[in-house]
């Protein structure tokens, strides 16, 4: 696979704790090749949280399965670079990855009930990870499991350690999964929609827990979600994905307050709020997400974009925009859009004004 799509923001190799460069994940299916991720680059420092936002099919989950090497190897083609603490993961052997998974990097999933084994006690599942990576005895692993359950706030951990996942409530199961992911003090934690299936009060508990644990251990976290509200509570940096590509990234406040990409703007306009006006309709993004079998040419968002016609020469439908910073915004805040800074200032202001009034 060629690497003709170089991304302009480029820091020195090995500088970041996790560095993903021009990642491509293509699945072969009966209908053709699905370009689930198509040239994605980002970096993450220790102790920071990167929020990845996107709708279903944007490639946000696939990206992270590929980092851990959990994709279906038989039908997936990977390209690009994933450096974790200087170590290349895409070319690593299965054995090397097994040593890293659950140890240096671990993952928690959305549906804790389905993601925990129904056949083993919560304690056994937590202890198993610990034994695998530390060679601890059964007894030590159990003690460690109790300690982890206590740390994630499970009441009576010494009793609950012998329960099965179905005996836990939804929130407790997600806590148990976090305990399992953190049992070896990983340096990278990937959380794939960990709060989506939970009620808001429990969601708030889990987000607080993750933040506390991060402060304690300095873990780097990738937090995948479709909910910008959740992002605003937990992320330091935000990466917005659309159709397998990054359309915008930057600091949380920058991206949420002054988005540069029409898609980010559209997402914000789609969300009702607790204190906004109620008598104006929401501003949804028209149309539906693209098929990744035959993604649109140029900017993948252009068929749904309200501003595509403002860009001259049909550029949006032919050329892939580069991910680059915009004039008047910080160097870290970049978007992949053909609009000029002046156009953006003009149209986005109108757009925002239309929403508020």
Which CB sits closer to other proteins, 8 or 273?
Answer: 273
Which CB sits closer to other proteins, 267 or 292?
Answer: 267
Nearest distance, CB of residue 271 and other proteins, angstroms: 6
Cβ(222)–Cβ(189) under 8 Å?
Answer: yes
Nearest distance, CB of residue 40 and other proteins, angstroms: 20
Structure tokens at 244: 């397998």
Nearest distance, CB of residue 113 and other proteins, angstroms: 9
Which CB sits closer to other proteins, 44 or 230?
Answer: 230
Which CB sits closer to other proteins, 9 or 205?
Answer: 205
Which CB sits closer to other proteins, 70 or 293?
Answer: 70
Nearest distance, CB of residue 15 and other proteins, angstroms: 26
Nearest distance, CB of residue 313 and other proteins, angstroms: 27
Which CB sits closer to other proteins, 7 or 308?
Answer: 308
Which CB sits closer to other proteins, 7 or 108?
Answer: 108
Nearest distance, CB of residue 207 and other proteins, angstroms: 8
Q: What is the 3-state secondary structure (H, E, C) of the chain?
A: CCCCCCCCCCCCCCCCCEEEEEEEEEEEECCEEEEEEEEEEEEECCCCEEEEECCCCCCHHHHHHHHHCCCCHHHEEEEEEEEECCEECCCCCHHHHHHHECCCEEEECCCHHHHCCCCCCHHHHHHHHHHHHHCCCHHHHHHHHHHHHHHCCCCCHHHHCCCCHHHCCHHHHHHHHHHHHHCCCCCEEEEECCCCCCCHHHHHHHHHHHHHHHHHHCCEEEEEECCHHHHHHHCCEEEEEECCEEEEEEEHHHHHHCCCCHHHHHHHHHCCCCCCCCCCCCCCCCCCCCCCCCCCCCCCCHHHCCCHHHCHHHHHHCCCCCEEECCCCCCCCEEECCCCHHHHHHHHHHHHHHHHC
Nearest distance, CB of residue 351 and other proteins, angstroms: 14
């Amino acid at each position: 696979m060629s690497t003709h799509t170089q991304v302009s923001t480029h820091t020195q190799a090995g500088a970041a704790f996790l560095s993903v460069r021009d990642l491509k994940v293509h699945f072969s299916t009966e209908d053709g090749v699905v370009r689930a991720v198509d040239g994605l680059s980002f970096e993450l420092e220790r102790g920071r949280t990167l929020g990845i936002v996107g709708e279903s099919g944007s490639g946000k989950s696939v990206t992270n399965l590929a980092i851990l090497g959990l994709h279906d190897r038989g039908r997936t083609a990977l390209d690009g670079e994933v450096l974790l603490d200087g170590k290349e993961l895409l070319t690593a052997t299965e054995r090397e990855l097994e040593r890293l998974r659950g140890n240096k990097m671990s993952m928690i999933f959305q549906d804790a009930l389905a993601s925990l084994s129904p056949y083993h006690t919560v304690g056994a599942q937590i202890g198993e990870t610990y034994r695998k990576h530390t060679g601890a005895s059964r007894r030590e692993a159990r003690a460690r499991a109790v300690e982890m359950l206590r740390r994630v706030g499970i009441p009576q951990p010494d009793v609950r350690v012998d329960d099965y996942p179905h005996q836990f409530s939804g929130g407790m199961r997600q806590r148990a999964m976090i305990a399992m992911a953190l049992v070896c003090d990983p340096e990278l934690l990937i959380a794939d929609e960990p709060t989506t299936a939970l009620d808001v009060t429990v969601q708030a508990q889990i987000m607080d827990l993750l933040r506390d644990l991060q402060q304690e251990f300095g873990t780097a976290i990738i937090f995948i979600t479709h909910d910008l509200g959740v992002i605003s509570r937990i992320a330091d940096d935000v990466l917005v994905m659309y159709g397998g590509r990054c359309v915008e990234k930057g600091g949380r406040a920058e991206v949420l307050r002054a988005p540069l990409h029409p898609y980010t703007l559209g997402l914000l306009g789609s969300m009702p709020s607790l204190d906004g006006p109620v008598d104006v309709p929401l501003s949804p993004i028209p149309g539906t997400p693209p098929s990744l079998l035959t993604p649109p040419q140029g900017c993948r968002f252009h068929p749904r974009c309200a501003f595509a016609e403002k860009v001259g020469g049909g550029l949006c439908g032919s050329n892939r925009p580069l991910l680059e910073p915009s004039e008047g915004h910080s160097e870290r805040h970049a978007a992949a859009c053909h609009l000029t800074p002046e156009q953006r200032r003009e149209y986005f202001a109108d757009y925002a004004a239309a929403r508020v009034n």
